[in-house]
Structure 1
Amino acid sequence: MFEGFEETRIDVGQAEIHLRQGGDGPPLLLLHGYPQTHVNWHKIAPELAENYTVVTPDLRGYGDSRGPSDPETRQYTNREMAEDMVAVMTSMGFDEYRIVGHDRGARVGYRFALDHPDRVEKLAVLDIIPTLETVERMDYEYAYAMYHWLFLAQPHPIPETLLANEPAFYVDHLIDNWAAYPDHLDPEAIAEYQRCFEDERVIRASCEDYRAGLSVDLEHDLSSRAAGDRIECPVLALWGDASGTVDFDPLEVWEEWATSVRGRGLPCGHFVMEEAPDATLAELEPFLA
């Protein structure tokens, strides 16, 4: 897994980011989702590394990265995590780059593109719509299907205490419920997600991430909407046909936030690049080129 990639850690001030880097060519930043780590790119990162310098970090607090020692919700906004990635890429000598994000990483990615339009050349968002749009569509049926948003955002230490009791069970539960083809996820990758979720610091960080999603991140999205801000770089939106986002047309949603959008649904559930790596690459490679 990640043969030919090098591991390193980069201190960005409030956080210490663990990442793998491989390949040669224009820089490409891959941002993972929940409840995962950078390992969720293991099926497509080596192929992308044939044409790009691929950087696959763990977001602050996730995986083997470390966040603030005394975490607060405002330290886990998409904006703060995007600033981490600015520092990471700057330290590696990269001022402009392409970004591909999945799930929580895609939320960091679109905030990144809104806050730092001069740095993001292209953006691919996998299986999300903007956070504000998600919340505005959350009727009782959507809330039932997306209960984890409301559960994880409850005050500390309620979700942390419950998750720490059976972290591996919870990771398995999410995979079984969100994947159309759970058996397409590599057991070695799942074991890595479980290992990281056994760390109470990771559980705490992920809960703060979701608390920010239902508070400060919404403030930032509302501010961007009010200001008429739009993502100016080309955007590729991909989603799983069997994922929860297909109750509406994601492209129509993204057209309200970006000037140039294309994309489509893929034959899979939420874990797009792990369930359908070939189909994902078939869309990503021409878009990124």
Structure 2
Amino acid sequence: MPTIDGFTYATIPGQAGVPLHVAVGGSGPALVLLHGFPQTHYMWREVAQRLAAEHTVIVPDLRGYGESGKPEEDGPETYSKRTMGEDVVSVAAALGHDRFGLVGHDRGALVGVRAALDHPDRVRYLGILDVLPTLDTWEVLHGVDAKVAWHLYLMAQPVGLPERMIAAVAEDFFASFLDAWDTDGSTFTPEVRRHYIDSSVDAVPSIVADYRASAGIDLEQDRADREAGRRLAMPVAVLSQDWGSQLGFDASAIWGAWSDDSTYQPIDAGHFMAEEKPDDVAQFIRLLAARSR
């Protein structure tokens, strides 16, 4: 397992005691960075190092990923974003931080949204990299254009078949996303690419469970929040590719409907922008943090 230079590591219990693998470095106001699919906390290495002079940077592997615990899916809550958000709050509290900034990429951003909705007293600001809210994701996918999100439909199926199908070709399955979403094929060294593939191959059931939750309980909880008029109470900033022009939606407006204090910034980068353009992503986070002071 590769490590972030200059950071220390600890195993910290999350919700229901699930052990979470966490890197911590720097000093100053707490900032939690949450990774996406099919990756681990290591995707944040360059951004985390750039921000460590200004923040205490906390970088966990999400439950079900990397070196964190992978509990068996014994119900919809096991990998709900609400449960995974509770993991984040528990980790920050264990490290002495009742309030923290929170920035997530892809799956980690969905965890961040749920943590921010459920714990507005804990999350000072919320940064989102290259994803839409769960509810809106399902609403904008339609027709043949939805083929770009084919994996969402596969992993939404009941327990059993998707796990077996993916396990049969696991290396090719996870490698396909690293290759398709890397703009020019130069973002990852062979060693980093190998790390992400190996970590994902070892976590097929928990990764599928994470995605299955987003077609079930996560969707239900987002819908309940929309119907109740719940919104994100802290400054929110979104950094994204221009998916909307391809799929016919307005990402800025979608995120604006969830917050009264949100900004939207397109970036000329691929999905793995934290590794492709770490300077840009670090500056995005600095500007967001400044809005919360």
> When the two structures are superposed, what TM-score results if normalisation uses the length of structure 2?
0.93
CA distance in structure 2 between the aligned counterparts of 1:104 and 1:28, rounded to whole angstroms:
17
Shift in alpha-carbon separation, 1:280–1:197, aligned structure 2, 3 A: same
Alignment match, 2:268: 267
Alignment of 1:40-189 (within 5 A): 40-69=43-72, 71-189=74-192
CA distance in structure 2 between the aligned counterparts of 1:108 and 1:73, rounded to whole angstroms:
15
Q: CA RMSD in A?
A: 1.7
Instruction: Give the gaps of 5 or more residues in structure 2.
Output: none
Q: Is the 8 A contact 2:166 2:173 kept in 1?
A: yes
Name the amino acid aligned to 1:9.
T
Shift in alpha-carbon separation, 1:172–1:244, aligned structure 2, 3 A: farther
CA distance in structure 1 between the aligned counterparts of 2:227 and 2:85, rounded to whole angstroms:
21
Once the two structures are superposed, residues 253-283 of structure 1 have per-residue CA deviations (whole angstroms, 9 ceiling, x without a partner) of 1110011011211111211212222222232
Alignment match, 2:239: 238
Secondary structure in 2 aligned to 1:100? strand
Shift in alpha-carbon separation, 1:246–1:266, aligned structure 2, 3 A: farther
Instruction: Give the gaps of 5 or more residues in structure 1.
Output: none
Secondary structure in 2 aligned to 1:7? strand
Alignment match, 1:211: 212
Q: Is the 8 A contact 2:174 2:201 kept in 1?
A: no
Alignment match, 1:257: 258
1:168 Cα offset (Å): 2.2
1:215 Cα offset (Å): 0.7
Alignment match, 2:23: 20
Between 1:7-16 and 1:87-96, the stretch displaced more is 7-16
Q: Is the 8 A contact 2:62 2:84 kept in 1?
A: yes
CA distance in structure 2 between the aligned counterparts of 1:208 and 1:73, rounded to whole angstroms:
8
Once the two structures are superposed, residues 171-199 of structure 1 have per-residue CA deviations (whole angstroms, 9 ceiling, x without a partner) of 22011212223312233322211121231
Q: Is the 8 A contact 2:145 2:247 kept in 1?
A: no
CA distance in structure 1 between the aligned counterparts of 2:114 and 2:72, rounded to whole angstroms:
24
Identity %: 38
Number of residue equivalences: 287
Q: Is the 8 A contact 1:37 1:62 kept in 2?
A: yes
Secondary structure in 2 aligned to 1:133? helix
CA distance in structure 1 between the aligned counterparts of 2:256 and 2:264, rounded to whole angstroms:
11
Q: Is the 8 A contact 1:243 1:269 kept in 2?
A: no
Shift in alpha-carbon separation, 1:277–1:254, aligned structure 2, 3 A: same
CA distance in structure 2 between the aligned counterparts of 1:245 and 1:72, rounded to whole angstroms:
35
Alignment match, 2:226: 225
Secondary structure in 2 aligned to 1:238? strand
1:241 Cα offset (Å): 3.6
Alignment match, 1:10: 12
